């Protein structure tokens, strides 16, 4: 990715900007204020997901219609179905928490729902579920099974739900299943 004038750009857009600056006789002076500076995004950690700042003009664009939006869905303040590439930076602990909080927030506009599907597919966030002895099913997001189990344990204990007779972390951990399709119309904790 490239940093340029306080914005982040994907490799394609950054290289494009470097080319056009070069064509205009502008040299790299090592300052991101005047010339795009390359950073390996795999070595970078962020507190929240970043998309290429070229937005709908991004050379590595993502079309939210591939992630569940349809042509007839209202954009509700967003400008386009097309968004800039999601930069492949790692997430800090705070960044993971930020993504989980956003995923849990409801209701979502069709735009937000599609953007979040893109995030879920890019970062390894999953959904785990557990069926309580009462027959109620609980779903939780997590970057790992352990993280989802923690959420499920605290909610089930709060609701006095048991699982195979117990409600300890051990009982729940053994009954938890990973889900491969994000369920619609259920509350995911
Ligand atoms: Zn881009």
137-157 pLDDT, tens digit per residue, is: 999 999 999 999 999 999 999
pLDDT above 90 for 174: no
With beta carbons less than 8 A apart as the criterion, state whether 48 and 96 touch: no
**Cβ-Cβ contacts under 8 Å for 105 (sequence gap 6 or more):** none
pLDDT above 70 coverage of the chain, percent:
100
pLDDT value at position 187? Answer: 87
Checking if the pLDDT of 48 tops 90, the result is yes
Q: For residue 55, how far is its CA from the centre of ligand 1 (angstroms)?
A: 7
Q: Which residues pair with 188 in a beta bridge?
A: 139
Q: Find the 19 Cα to ligand 1 centroid distance in Å.
A: 14
Distance 46 CA to ligand 1 centre (A): 18
Question: Residue 154 in 3-state DSSP?
Answer: helix
Report whether pLDDT(99) > 80: yes
Cα separation, 62 vs 93, whole angstroms: 26
In this prediction the pTM is 0.84
CA of 110 to the centre of ligand 1 (A): 23
* Cα 57 to middle of ligand 1, angstroms: 7
Where do the domains of the chain lie? 2-122, 126-179
108-132 tens-digit pLDDT:
889 998 999 999 988 889 999 999 9
**pLDDT on residue 148:** 94
86 — pLDDT class (breaks 50, 70, 90) = very high
Distance 28 CA to ligand 1 centre (A): 20
Cα(56) to centroid(ligand 1), Å: 9
Taking the C-alpha atoms of residue 51 and residue 33, their distance in angstroms, rounded to an integer, is 19
**Does 164 have pLDDT greater than 90?**
no
Considering the chain, what is the average pLDDT of its residues? 92
Share of the chain above pLDDT 90, in %: 74
Task: Average the pLDDT over 160-183 and give the result.
Answer: 85
Distant-in-sequence, close-in-space partners of 36: CB < 8 Å, separation ≥ 6 = 2, 3, 4, 9, 14, 17, 18, 21
């Amino acid at each position: 990715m490239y940093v340029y004038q306080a914005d982040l750009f994907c490799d394609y857009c950054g290289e494009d900007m470097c080319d056009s600056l070069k064509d205009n006789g502008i040299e790299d002076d090592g300052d991101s204020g005047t010339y795009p500076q390359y950073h390996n995004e795999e070595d970078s950690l962020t507190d929240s997901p970043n998309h290429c700042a070229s937005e709908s003009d991004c050379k590595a664009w993502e079309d939210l219609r591939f992630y569940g939006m349809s042509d007839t869905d209202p954009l509700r303040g967003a400008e386009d179905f097309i968004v800039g590439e999601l930069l492949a930076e790692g997430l800090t602990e705070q960044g993971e928490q930020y993504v989980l909080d956003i995923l849990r927030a409801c209701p979502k506009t069709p735009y937000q729902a599609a953007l979040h599907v893109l995030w879920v597919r890019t970062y390894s966030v999953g959904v785990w579920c557990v069926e309580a002895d009462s027959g109620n099913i609980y779903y939780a997001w997590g970057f790992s099974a352990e993280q989802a189990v923690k959420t499920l344990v605290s909610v089930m204990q709060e609701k006095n739900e048991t699982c195979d007779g117990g409600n300890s972390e051990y009982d729940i951990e053994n009954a938890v299943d990973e889900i491969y399709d994000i369920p619609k119309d259920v509350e995911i904790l």
